[in-house]
Amino acid sequence: MRRGAVPDLLLAALLDGPAHGYELMDRLEAFSGGTWRPSPGSVYPLLQSFEDQGLVESVESQEAQGRRVFALTDAGRQQAVARQSGEVAGAFRPGPHHSPLRTEVEQLRSAARQVASVATAQQQEQAAAIVRGARQALYRLLAE
């Protein structure tokens, strides 16, 4: 991890939509292919700093079990897009065990956690069916 990249990466993670701190940690872990996960001690102070700078705004969300959910402001979105570059993506160097499948599974896990925390019961049932179908399709692939 390149030193000083965490603020840019955190802003870039918010481009995927509003999230609470732990969801953002999951997104960054998925983005790194599971090789790096920021600590709450680095994420939450940055989010507070971003809020103080007017880059993000937060609301306490009932869907997120009372957690503060952070979203980019217009200024934050502009800054995130401006900082999102090959340099940010280059902060992570794929390790010897990196694979596109692992990256996709980590991103799926992050999305599933978000669905589990904010989706309605019906949406959670639909999500479970989607994941079940994907698992079955993988086993069919191995059976070929």
User: Could you tell me which CATH number the domain at 6-143 has?
Assistant: 1.10.10.10
Res 71: pLDDT: 94
* DSSP track, 47-64: HHHHHHTTSEEEEE-TTT
Token reading at 140 = 């069919």
pTM of the full predicted structure?
0.58
Res 63: pLDDT: 67
pLDDT band at 87 (very low <50, low <70, confident <90, very high): very low
More confident residue, 97 or 44: 44
What whole-number distance in Å separates Cα of residue 116 and Cα of residue 50? 26
What whole-number distance in Å separates Cα of residue 133 and Cα of residue 51? 40
Q: Is the pLDDT of residue 33 over 80?
A: no
Please tell me whether residue 93 adopts helix, strand or coil conformation: coil
Q: Which residue has the tokens 């090959």?
A: 86
